[in-house]
Amino acid sequence: MAALAEIFVSEGAILSGSDVPDHFYTDEVLRSIGLVPFESFDSAHVGDDVQLVIYSAAYDPAVNPELLEAEKRGIPLFSYPQALGQLSRRSDSSGIAGVHGKTTTTAMTGSILEALKCPATILAGSAVSSFGDRCTYIGGNRFFVAETCEYKRHFLNFAPRRILLTSVESDHQDYYPTYESIRGAFIEYVESLPEAGRLIYCADDAGATQVAMAALAKRPDIILIPYGFAASGPFRIRELRVREGRSEFSLDASLQEFSLGVPGKHLVLDAAGAISLAVTITQDSHKGQSLSQSEWATIAKALGDFRGSKRRSEIVGSAGGVLIMDDYAHHPTAIRDTIEGLKSFWPSRRLIVDFMSHTYSRTKALLDEFSESFSQADCVILHGIYPSAREKPIEGVNGRSLFEKTKALNPAMTDLTHSADEGVPGQLPARYPDRFLIYTESIDEAPELIFPQLREGDLFITMGAGDNWKIGKSLLAMLEKEKMKG
């Protein structure tokens, strides 16, 4: 919604809006474009001059007082996916989709197109450092690249000429009860491509490959462009080398060497996907002409300078020799890939993972996978489930059950949960363990329990779609305060 607001303001729209009172980084984005939302929902907020109302799919038009007021007065209503779809119809548009990697791939694609001075607008699902910590890059409207979401088939509102597909596997179990159901939605999205439309897909992902083959069987006119280690063709990754703080790789398409300063093999795949899409768009703008060596060098520099996006392997800060990070990973595959990437990127650091599961349905369906996803972490902190307004609690499904399963799989980790259970923050064993687990139902007591365990050289990362990112902020402040005392 913040990204959409940026695009509308850039074209002269006058905006007002409403939100919940919780503070989030998007508040700064909105403030920078002159929009300070109301911190409640009230029909009085829909002024007499309002001509259009766009709402997040998180809100129900049958319940929200502002949406009810707009409907009563005959003001046109668009959900976010509908509004995004309308934007896509006025440009040569590309949709980036997948269960994992959408935001980072969109951010990387935008960073490349910005560096190439492509007349494009990019809409990402998070603030991007190379976009000036905004969610969008606006460099013209000939091309439009946007992150598109599979939940409730929202991406079917979008009208793409190209689709980049990162990954397909079971998720959003409240809407897609089986893998087949979510795979069917992605196939339907690919089938929405126009004649000779392009599907750029990750050949290393089994689900994305299945979708590509199924769509091609129905639509043989679609042009498939694979990327990744398992790909054939110009966007095959070769010669991946990982050293402390960098991932280096090359592609069959060019002699150019690429280097990433963000961790993980999965981000190398995202980078290859971003290059594939950016090159395809650039060639289309050049009427099929190949890229010059200087353009390839520009792409490499854009990726080399890429520092991620908000809540995607984001470095929050460092103090006392402890590196604090935050990541939005909320699916077992994303958690596992992120942890593996961090361990290979910084092998000398002890890795402490703080995770908060999001939605009861996802936790229930993937409980075993979640508990197994932390196997490469040195220490794990878990919390109560972060609920969603779209579902009700499920009896017997809670954060504690995930903790117990994780504990059973990691007998070498010392359980420090007793301190939280007894209500005595900081009451810890005399000898601090190298590997530990902690469970707190609420995030409030977590910083006081975690802080005494931190050591110089640690990497502490919060993960998930909940609000446990606040723990990292608190720990950083505590470390900085301790440093000032020293």
At residue 310, the pLDDT reads 65
**Domain end: 75, 96, 121, which one?**
75
At residue 486, the pLDDT reads 59
At residue 397, the pLDDT reads 84
Q: What is the mean pLDDT of residues 99-103?
A: 90
- Co-location of 37 and 103 in the same domain: no
CA dihedral (212, 218, 219, 223) in degrees, to 10, reads 20
- What's the domain range around 415? 314-485
- Co-location of 54 and 89 in the same domain: no
At residue 330, the pLDDT reads 82
Q: Calculate ∠ Cα 413-415-418, nearest 5°.
A: 170
Checking if the pLDDT of 249 tops 90, the result is yes
- Co-location of 256 and 111 in the same domain: yes
Q: List, for residues 416-431, the tens digit of each pLDDT value.
A: 986 444 444 444 444 5
Checking if the pLDDT of 161 tops 70, the result is yes
Q: What is the mean pLDDT of residues 60-64?
A: 93
**Domain end: 305, 333, 350, which one?**
305
- Co-location of 124 and 255 in the same domain: yes
How many other C-beta atoms are found inside a 10 Å radius of the C-beta of residue 52?
12
Full 3-state SS string of the chain: CHHHHHHHHHCCCCCCCECCCCCCCHHHHHHHCCCCCECCCCHHHCCCCCCCEEECCCCCCCCCHHHHHHHHCCCCEEEHHHHHHHHHCCCEEEEEECCCCHHHHHHHHHHHHHHCCCCEEEEEEEEEHHHCCEEEEECCCCEEEEECCCHHHHHHHCCCCEEEECCCCCCCCCCCCCHHHHHHHHHHHHHCCCCCCEEEEECCCHHHHHHHHHHHHHCCCCEEEEEECCCCCCCEEEEEEEECCEEEEEECCCCCEEEECCCCHHHHHHHHHHHHHHHHHHHHHCCCCCCCHHHHHHHHHHHHHCCCECCECEEEEEECCEEEEEECCCCHHHHHHHHHHHHHHCCCCCEEEEEECECHHHHHHCHHHHHHCCCCCCEEEEECCECCCCCCCCCCCCHHHHHHHHHHHCCCCEECCHHHHCCCCCCCCCCCCCCEEEEECCCCCHHHHHHHHCCCCCEEEEEECCCCHHHHHHHHHHHHHHHHHC
Q: List, for residues 347-369, the tens digit of each pLDDT value.
A: 889 999 999 998 888 888 889 99
pLDDT bin (cut points 50, 70, 90) of residue 246 is confident
Checking if the pLDDT of 446 tops 90, the result is yes
- Co-location of 323 and 451 in the same domain: yes
- Co-location of 414 and 324 in the same domain: yes
CB 53 within 8 A of CB 60: no
Q: List, for residues 9-44, the tens digit of each pLDDT value.
A: 999 999 999 998 887 778 888 998 999 999 999 999
- Co-location of 67 and 140 in the same domain: no
pTM above 0.85, yes or no: no
At residue 192, the pLDDT reads 97
- Co-location of 476 and 427 in the same domain: yes
Tokens 């301790």, located at residue: 482
- Co-location of 328 and 406 in the same domain: yes
Tokens 């089986």, located at residue: 178
Q: What is the mean pLDDT of the chain?
A: 90
Q: CATH code at 116?
A: 3.40.1190.10
At residue 205, the pLDDT reads 96
Q: Which of 134-138, 199-203, 211-215, 327-331 has the lowest mean pLDDT?
A: 327-331
pLDDT bin (cut points 50, 70, 90) of residue 126 is confident
Q: Which of 16-25, 30-39, 271-280, 457-466 has the lowest mean pLDDT?
A: 16-25
CB 439 within 8 A of CB 382: yes
Q: What is the mean pLDDT of residues 444-466?
A: 93
Q: Which of 70-84, 312-326, 410-424 has the highest mean pLDDT?
A: 70-84
- Co-location of 349 and 372 in the same domain: yes
The number of distinct structural domains making up the chain is: 3
Q: CATH code at 36?
A: 3.40.50.720
At residue 425, the pLDDT reads 45
- Co-location of 272 and 319 in the same domain: no
Buried b (16+ CB within 10 A) or exposed e, 112-146: bbbbbebebbbbbbbbbbbbeebbbbbbebebbbb
**Percent of the chain with pLDDT strictly greater than 90:** 69
At residue 345, the pLDDT reads 82
- Co-location of 52 and 96 in the same domain: no
pLDDT bin (cut points 50, 70, 90) of residue 407 is very high
At residue 421, the pLDDT reads 45
Instruction: Calculate Rg over the CA atoms of the chain.
Output: 23
How many other C-beta atoms are found inside a 10 Å radius of the C-beta of residue 281?
24
**Domain end: 305, 328, 355, which one?**
305
At residue 173, the pLDDT reads 79
CA distances for 25 relative to 16, 60, 462, angstroms: 18, 24, 16
Of residues 424 and 409, the one with the higher pLDDT is 409
